[in-house]
Every structure is written in structure tokens, then in C-alpha cells.
Amino acid sequence: MIITDTDSSGNLDYWYQYAGTGTWHQQQVAPASAAGSSQYPQWSSPVISWTGSTVIIAAVDRDGGLHYLYQYAGTGTWHQQQVTADWAVTPNCPPAIAWTGRSVVLAGMSENGSLNFWWQAAGTGPWHEEHVASLTPGAEYPSMASAGPSVVITDSDGSSDGPFPAGNLDYWWQKDGTSGWNQQQVAAG
């Protein structure tokens, strides 16, 4: 089992537990000091996934830069790539991460309501960016998964006011390795 979060000092950490055991092991992935320099206190909203041989994490720094961090199983060494420039994503808004079997894929929201998607084939660079949809600012919680040959993203479109992101629940998909997002409304909000 694997999890990620920030610790009380603002460091980005990773915990793992071998199946059938009760002991959690902790590693620091990136120190708080590597999370940018603005008003936000630390890394925010990290998300984690597994490729079958590599632990992969996406996190937003306090300057709104999206980062990708990975560790090959059993090595103990973390590698970090900054995926976007500062202020490209909303600080304190969780990105989404998934593994398609051949690419790492990320999704995130900008402060102006742009839902964006990034992908990178395993072991290559650079990151490729695609605009998925323009949503009302406030739609900030994308989720994503790999589903067979397709990548799927869900989010509220932010079309109604309230204390939490609200609106219609929408679903976007495209075949892995292609471009051109398809959209469907799942539920009216």
C-alpha cells in the first residue's frame, strides 16, 4: 500500500506498507523549501499512483507549479520534474494522476477555469499539454483514470454558486495517444 501527503513541516512525504504487515515506512519525497516561495505554506494536494514498477506522485507547489515525482521500486531515490510554469495551476487544488500502461497522465485546473491535461510517455520527455475544457472558475477537483484504451477525466463545471465547487458533473474522454476530448454530462447540478 502507498500513500502521500505533507507532514507537519510542509515536506512532501511518501508512506508504504508491505502487504500483510502492519508497519508503515516513511520517506521524504521533497522538502518544503523546494515548494516555491510565495504566500502558500508548502506543497499542496499531492496525489499518488503506481505503474507496476514505479511510484508516481503529482503535487502543486505554493507558486502554482505542477510537479511530477517518481521513484523506481526499491531504489529509495526520488526524481522530480516541474511540469508547468508557476501559476499554471491553482495552488491548494489537487491535480489528478494516472498510468495508462505507456504514459503518465496528469490533469489540473488553472485559476481562470481551464481544465488541462499533460502526458509523458514512460522514460521520455518533454511533457505535452492539452486544453480539455473551459469551466467556470471554482471547478477545482478533477479526477482521472485510465480505462482500457482511454483516459477519462471528471469534474464539476462550476456552473452554480455555493460554498463548494458545484454545477453539472461532466465527463471527458479520449483514446490514449490521441487528441480531441469528447464530453458528456453525467448529472445536472
pLDDT in tens, 57-91: 999 988 888 999 999 987 889 999 999 988 888 87
Q: What is the largest CA-CA distance in the chain?
A: 47
- Percent of residues, the chain, with pLDDT higher than 90: 48
pLDDT top residue among 131 and 179:
131
Long-range contacts of 6-10, Cβ-Cβ distance < 8 Å, separation of 24 or more: 6/32, 6/42, 6/43, 6/44, 6/46, 10/35, 10/41, 10/42, 10/43
37 pLDDT above the threshold of 60: no
- 150 has pLDDT over 60: yes
What is the model's pLDDT at position 169? 87
pLDDT for 161 equals: 58
Higher pLDDT, 28 or 36: 28
CATH topology of domain 95-189: Lipocalin (2.40.128)
pLDDT at position 8 is 85
What proportion of the chain, given as a percentage, has pLDDT over 70?
A: 89
The pTM for the full model equals 0.88
